[in-house]
Amino acid sequence: MRARHVSIASRYTYPCSVEIGPLGTWYIDGILSGLAFQQSHAMANDKSGSIDVSNGQFIVQKIDGPIQFYVQAGTYAIPALGLQYSHLGDSSDANNLYGYVPQTYLKLAPTDTFSVQIGKLPSLLGPEGTFDFQNLNIERGLLWNQSSSVSRGVQLNETIGPVRFRLSLNDGYYSNHYNWLTGLVTWSINETNTLRFEAGGSVGKTDISTVATPLLQNNSRIYDLVYTYRAGALTIMPYLQYNRVPEDVSLGVPLGQSSFGSAILANYAFTPKWALAGRIEYIGSSGHRTQAEPASLLYGPGSSAQSFTLTPTYSYERFFLRGDMSFVAISNLAAGKGFGHNGNAATQMRVLVETGFLF
């Protein structure tokens, strides 16, 4: 699982390779995992606790030669802080999220430094991946909630020395309207330090509103600045994020809206088997609590939220066991926009345990 994100998959997967004559070497791997969770202040349509299959996916890919490809298929759950838990059955529905083949693309690489990808692509925005095996934490964070996850489109990739460039024309938050441009510039300063700038935005207007295509975010502009420090057993990744939705009465944004967030992700591997990851976040939105905005990027105009997540992980060869202990607190909560059955609770705690096999 060749994810660009720091993850359990990048550390512990042992892919199987198959030689297919003139078609070259194909790599096959996957994940089978389940989780259980308990939470306080469950939302109206959520449960206080449940057991679920978090992943049943396999990946087939070809990673060398002028013609390459990537196919990721199966079922998945996508737990995220501050949101109702997304169960496996919900996530596997193509009408809700990304279908049974959530990512797949063809890659044309005429040179070692230039390539073109076409298909269902992972977003260029944000340091956290869509699927939990791509991340240090089981749950995605509050800032991830503002970013796109999977986009259909075309992407150009170029590497010049220590700098990598990515440019994509796509459908943003999986809207099927190809009016988004995203870009990424990564500077590998040295083996220890990397700096990345990401930007994307809609060049049109789309009035679609679904779980996969949130109305406001899909009509926004978003920017991320990500620094990564890796030295031995330690990884630290602080980043900043800014999101802006232009004024548009037809979208329910008469004054325009914005959010600004910051986060620090970190991981320390005590031994080859034991590691501890953590994440601290803050995100705030524009506006005032007294405003009668019909829609909001967070939990009402002028609201903000903080989160803390701690994730210990044990792994042995292809087996892994890890847990998430997370806490989210909302400030300036608008009535009915928060946690609990009536949406008026300002805090939520979750404990998750996930175990499975990478193969």
Domain containing residue 104: CATH number? 2.40.160.10
What range does the domain containing 142 cover? 8-358
pLDDT given for residue 4 in this prediction: 37
Band of residue 17 on the pLDDT scale cut at 50, 70, 90: confident
pLDDT given for residue 252 in this prediction: 78
Q: Average pLDDT for residues 172-176, to the nearest whole number?
A: 96
More confidently predicted of 353 and 286? 353
195 lies in a domain?
yes
193 lies in a domain?
yes
Task: Please tell me the least confidently modeled range out of 4-13, 110-119, 206-215, 233-242.
Answer: 4-13
303 lies in a domain?
yes
Contacts of 22 (CB under 8 A, 6+ apart): none
308 lies in a domain?
yes
| pLDDT of 28 over the 60 cut | yes
CB 169 within 8 A of CB 95: no
3 lies in a domain?
no
pLDDT given for residue 13 in this prediction: 54
State the DSSP H helix or E strand holding residue 49, giving kind and residue range, or none if neither: strand 49-62
2 lies in a domain?
no
CB 300 within 8 A of CB 292: no
Band of residue 287 on the pLDDT scale cut at 50, 70, 90: confident
**Structure tokens of 251?**
């979208």
Q: Give the separation between CA 121 and CA 109, rounded to whole angstroms.
A: 16
- Number of domains within the chain: 1
45 lies in a domain?
yes
1 lies in a domain?
no
Please, is 190 exposed, middle or buried when counting C-beta atoms within 10 Å of its C-beta (0-12, 13-18, 19+)? exposed
Q: How many Cβ atoms sit within 10 Å of the Cβ of residue 146?
A: 24
pTM higher than the cut 0.75: yes
